[in-house]
A and B are shown apart, each in its own frame.
Chain A
């Protein structure tokens, strides 16, 4: 079957979902969509540039903080707040990108951990602006049209679909192909005359832009933000969703986000030990299924002899 038709059907199914689900589950589905965008933004870097980031949770959180701050403290309406959140996240990503492009592999990961922690530390300590540990609370942030959770869900779905489409276009564009070239052989791309650091920088900023979109949506969804929204746990969760879905599959992020969030939701009914369960999922995925769900499915479905 045609790929596009398949995705259209999936989109349609997702669109009628709130008519069938309870309001609780609509919220859950909204959350899944938001985090899928975050996971995709991580996958853009991890799957197509070969750079595994552990600071995207922080970039996401910067957008959330800025949106809520702009609305609650500066009193601006929703749309400018949303835009300023995305812009702020993109700027932070660009700044991180400037530093991170000089590294690769494990060093890249370490540097992003450190950068993410800087954001966390600032959010925690800069109490005058961020509210410190208490965080920031927004009130009635959504415009009247989006107050109903179904309407908000549809907005998030539309944004997520748009973001997914844009990211797909991005990684398959000539620019995206040169990023993949860098992933496979940095020295060769340099020898061919590509400006590798500039490519990496732009890739990082674009990826941060989408993480910012997710974070800004999350601000309207949650209407509250605290340092835990920018903590490493957030980056870890996003990365795990991307990995469980399948690194380099992009749309696998939807599956990964659904799997992790539904698991969290189920586990929370029985125990408070979600962190431990998350850790176990991480360990088991790394040992048994590093390709993730969609990656494994694709490998099994691929014709014999030309796996991958």
Chain B
């Protein structure tokens, strides 16, 4: 594997981290496996694409995608998931239904063509990195991945909200008993998770393209990341994302026809020995 491919793996890992960190936060705190996370990613990508095309601003596209997807998330949480609170399996299956609906709605609005979010001129072209030339935009994605990791880490470890989220992951009843409105923390976390999916959609939409089945692909990669990293663990998601990103690149280079296998083989092996993932903890 040369350094160009290595960078490809790392930038893909950065994207995966952004998407999967939202997934793992929601999974860890709310115990919701949100199978519509991929659909939210795609929706975010489409919203970002439309906004960026209309306004010519990539930044506005990212903002619109995060807000738009968070708004959808609010409806999803308050309008649907509230009816099945506390029932893991019903939540999962409900979110699966939501994924189907969202996907079809997106198909109606944006059609079946594949789109690429226009990148800002600033990020055109390539710069020399190591012993190769690498596209600036992909380096930007890499930077965004690191930035999101740092921000989330600061949020979780150095703010009151973060402390509440961490406490909620361990024992929601106890947090509630100490006078905190844990429901509000839950909603905020859910919205944050959705916004991260939307952000990922714009970031990924600019170099992976957006098309009707892109949601399932990114969802499965996120699942792999979360399963490897362990539920609710930010560092786990980062490790998982790097592993999956690199494995995926290696797979595409060495066994293009069986690329999926290269990711899921190790994942399955890991599950066999640590069913809760690398950094997952039993509850």
The CA-CA distance from A283 to B96 in the complex, in Å, is 8
Instruction: Determine whether A308 belongs to the interface, using a CB cutoff of 8 Å to chain B.
Output: no
Q: Say whether, besides A103-B275, A111-B227, A287-B83, A276 and B100 are in contact (CB < 8 Å).
A: yes
Is there contact, CB below 8 Å, between B259 and A121?
Answer: yes
The CA-CA distance from A127 to B227 in the complex, in Å, is 29
Q: Say whether, besides A99-B272, A118-B264, A273-B108, A106 and B93 are in contact (CB < 8 Å).
A: no
The 0/1 profile, CB within 8 Å of A marked 1, for residues 269-283 of chain B is 001100110000000
List residues of B (91-145) whose CB comes within 8 Å of A's CBs: 92-94, 96-105, 107-108
Is there contact, CB below 8 Å, between B101 and A276?
Answer: yes
Instruction: Determine whether B33 belongs to the interface, using a CB cutoff of 8 Å to chain A.
Output: yes
The CA-CA distance from A276 to B103 in the complex, in Å, is 8
List residues of A (260-307) whose CB comes within 8 Å of B's CBs: 273, 275-276, 278-283, 286-287, 290
Q: Say whether, besides A110-B223, A276-B100, A122 and B84 are in contact (CB < 8 Å).
A: no
Contact among A105, A117, A127 for B216, CB-based, below 8 A? A117
Instruction: Determine whether B176 belongs to the interface, using a CB cutoff of 8 Å to chain A.
Output: no
Instruction: Determine whether B258 belongs to the interface, using a CB cutoff of 8 Å to chain A.
Output: yes
Q: Say whether, besides A102-B272, A117-B216, A121-B259, A283 and B89 are in contact (CB < 8 Å).
A: no
List residues of A (84-125) whose CB comes within 8 Å of B's CBs: 98-99, 102-103, 105-107, 109-111, 113-115, 117-118, 121-122, 125
List residues of A (26-65) whose CB comes within 8 Å of B's CBs: 52
Q: Say whether, besides A106-B88, A283-B94, A114 and B83 are in contact (CB < 8 Å).
A: no
Q: Say whether, besides A110-B227, A117-B216, A283 and B258 are in contact (CB < 8 Å).
A: no
Is there contact, CB below 8 Å, between B96 and A117?
Answer: no
B contacts, CB < 8 Å to A = 31, 33, 35, 80, 83-84, 88-90, 92-94, 96-105, 107-108, 216, 220, 223-224, 226-227, 256-261, 264, 267-268, 271-272, 275-276
Residue of B at shortest CB range from A99? B268
Contact among B83, B216, B260 for A125, CB-based, below 8 A? B260
Residue of B at shortest CB range from A105? B88
Is there contact, CB below 8 Å, between A117 and B260?
Answer: yes
A contacts, CB < 8 Å to B = 52, 98-99, 102-103, 105-107, 109-111, 113-115, 117-118, 121-122, 125-128, 231-232, 236, 239, 243, 273, 275-276, 278-283, 286-287, 290
Chain A residues whose CB sits within 8 angstroms of the CB of B260 once the complex forms:
117-118, 121-122, 125
The CA-CA distance from A273 to B106 in the complex, in Å, is 11
CB distance from A205 to the nearest CB of B (A): 16
Interface of B is mostly: helix
Chain A residues whose CB sits within 8 angstroms of the CB of B90 once the complex forms:
286, 290
Is there contact, CB below 8 Å, between B89 and A106?
Answer: yes
Chain A residues whose CB sits within 8 angstroms of the CB of B258 once the complex forms:
122, 125-126
Chain A residues whose CB sits within 8 angstroms of the CB of B220 once the complex forms:
113-114, 117
Chain A residues whose CB sits within 8 angstroms of the CB of B99 once the complex forms:
279
Residue of A at shortest CB range from B276? A107
Q: Say whether, besides A125-B258, A125-B259, A275 and B84 are in contact (CB < 8 Å).
A: no
Chain B residues whose CB sits within 8 angstroms of the CB of A107 once the complex forms:
227, 271, 275-276
Pairs A–B under 8 Å by Cβ, sample size 6: A111-B271, A114-B267, A125-B257, A278-B100, A282-B97, A286-B94
Q: Say whether, besides A111-B227, A283-B101, A118 and B261 are in contact (CB < 8 Å).
A: yes
CB distance from B249 to the nearest CB of A (A): 15
Identify the 9 closest CB pairs spanning chains A and B, nearest first: A282-B97, A279-B100, A121-B260, A279-B101, A276-B104, A283-B97, A275-B104, A286-B94, A279-B97
Residue of A at shortest CB range from B93? A286
The CA-CA distance from A239 to B100 in the complex, in Å, is 14
Contact among A114, A118, A279, A281 for B227, CB-based, below 8 A? A114
Is there contact, CB below 8 Å, between B275 and A102?
Answer: yes
The CA-CA distance from A67 to B257 in the complex, in Å, is 21
The CA-CA distance from A103 to B102 in the complex, in Å, is 29
Contact among A114, A239, A278 for B93, CB-based, below 8 A? A239
Residue of A at shortest CB range from B274? A102
CB distance from A260 to the nearest CB of B (A): 13
Chain A residues whose CB sits within 8 angstroms of the CB of B35 once the complex forms:
113
Is there contact, CB below 8 Å, between A273 and B104?
Answer: yes
The CA-CA distance from A114 to B227 in the complex, in Å, is 10
Is there contact, CB below 8 Å, between A109 and B271?
Answer: no
CB distance from B96 to the nearest CB of A (A): 6
Is there contact, CB below 8 Å, between A283 and B267?
Answer: no
Is there contact, CB below 8 Å, between B33 and A106?
Answer: yes
Is there contact, CB below 8 Å, between B223 and A114?
Answer: yes
CB distance from A91 to the nearest CB of B (A): 16
Is there contact, CB below 8 Å, between B93 and A99?
Answer: no
CB distance from B202 to the nearest CB of A (A): 24
Q: Which of B33, B97, B220, B264 has the most CB of A within 10 A?
A: B97
